[in-house]
Amino acid sequence: MDKLTAAILAHEDVASYLSGSHGITGDAARERVITYLEELRTTQRYELYRALEYPLYPILRKIERVGENVANAVDAAKQHRVVYASNHKSHTDYLVEPLVLDDAGIRPPIIAAGINLFGGPLGLIHKHVTGALPIRRNTKDPAYLITLKAYVGELLREHDLFFYPEGGRSYSGELKSLKTGLLSAVMQSGVSNVVVLPTAIAYDLVLEDHILSRQGKKRRQRPFSRELAEMVRFAVGYRSRAFVTFGRPISLDGYDLSSRRAMIGLSRLIGTAVGRLYKVLPTALLAACMRPSMTRSDLEGRIDSMLDTLRATGANVAVQSGKEAVELAAEPFEARGILVVEPGRFRVRERHVLRYYARSISHLLTAGGSTH
């Protein structure tokens, strides 16, 4: 028995499960725990991880990485065990956010990702190079949940962790309510000096925008190979900036591990922080103010008014005026087939995609909800 397996089996909740706390004992209970542990077991090989940037260059060169408040991450990594909690926009998040940390001299953390990303060659890279942690979302098997919590506890003794508390990507464009499963595992890990670092990622253009907005909400888990083929198609001519913004660390000291209410309060605190950090980009502003057909002057005026509202809430705004927002967003939207640009006037071509971008800042608007 290796050291990790011994540590997992000795974990209090695992030992209780093996003793029959959930109606299964002996070899059957032990086999289930060991099976899930082997699924979760992951190794990060940092030198190979850094070398991945070269074969991934065709997609990474299309995305300009912009880190904001990176000093928050640098300081936290020096003083604490860090758990990064980020919103989830795109499959490219897994590439962009760790590289922003690596650019700042921070060793990329272990990333918790959906198990659908672990098939075929990509799965081997995740398991043996990036060190990604496969997560079975929405499972209620107590053997899995108990093993996962024990494994996260052991993982945090050696590595920082990066996870997406929303679960999967946002199909509507909105920031979703946060799940507490992994956060609970972190709090019960027994590892001292752990902080949560709120992190937000925003794109001028999301690579999967047409795919996500067409579906609206996630109805079933599709094979990643199929999603990848669709992403390759929409990558033709794709260019975007990705803003990764880091907040101030949130200490976990003082939270009652047994209190569901405390856990929900912490989750809301993290969610609010991520929402405030989210970069308000020109494409989101144009989308939120656009009507089926508008003159340029009317559109710029509406954006100016919205900018006043956003500044009053302390939003992280990327532009100073409606004119600047329209100048920066109109061409990418036209090239993406979302808008039709005529002399002095704009018309909507892809209504669902435009709404997808508009909803990305709905949490910041005092009136609440989308403007559509």
DSSP 76-100: HHHHSEEEEEE----TTHHHHHHHH
Residue 28 included in any domain: no
Retrieve residue 314's tokens: 């302390």
Separation of alpha carbons 109 and 286, rounded Å = 35
Residues 154, 46 share a domain = yes
Residues 198, 94 share a domain = yes
- The total number of structural domains in the chain stands at 2
Last residue in a domain, options 215, 249, 277? 277
Residues 218, 287 share a domain = no
Residue 370 included in any domain: no
Find the domain containing 299 and state its range.
280-364
Give residues with Cβ within 8 angstroms of 63, minimum separation 6. Answer: 92, 95, 96, 203, 239, 240, 241, 242
Residues 317, 169 share a domain = no
The CATH number assigned to the domain holding 340 equals 1.10.10
* pLDDT at position 369: 40
Residues 291, 148 share a domain = no
Separation of alpha carbons 151 and 17, rounded Å = 15
* β-bridge partners, 114: 135
Contact 135, 88 (CB under 8 A): no
Last residue in a domain, options 256, 277, 298? 277
Residues 263, 158 share a domain = yes
Q: Is the pLDDT of residue 370 over 50?
A: no
pTM metric for this prediction: 0.90
Separation of alpha carbons 8 and 5, rounded Å = 5
CA angle 303, 207, 300 (to 5 degrees): 10
The sign of the dihedral angle between the CA atoms of 178, 181, 187, 191 is: negative
Please report which confidence band the pLDDT of residue 218 belongs to, taking 50, 70 and 90 as the band edges. Answer: low
Please report which confidence band the pLDDT of residue 51 belongs to, taking 50, 70 and 90 as the band edges. Answer: confident
Please report which confidence band the pLDDT of residue 224 belongs to, taking 50, 70 and 90 as the band edges. Answer: low
Mean pLDDT of 178-184: 88
Residues 360, 212 share a domain = no
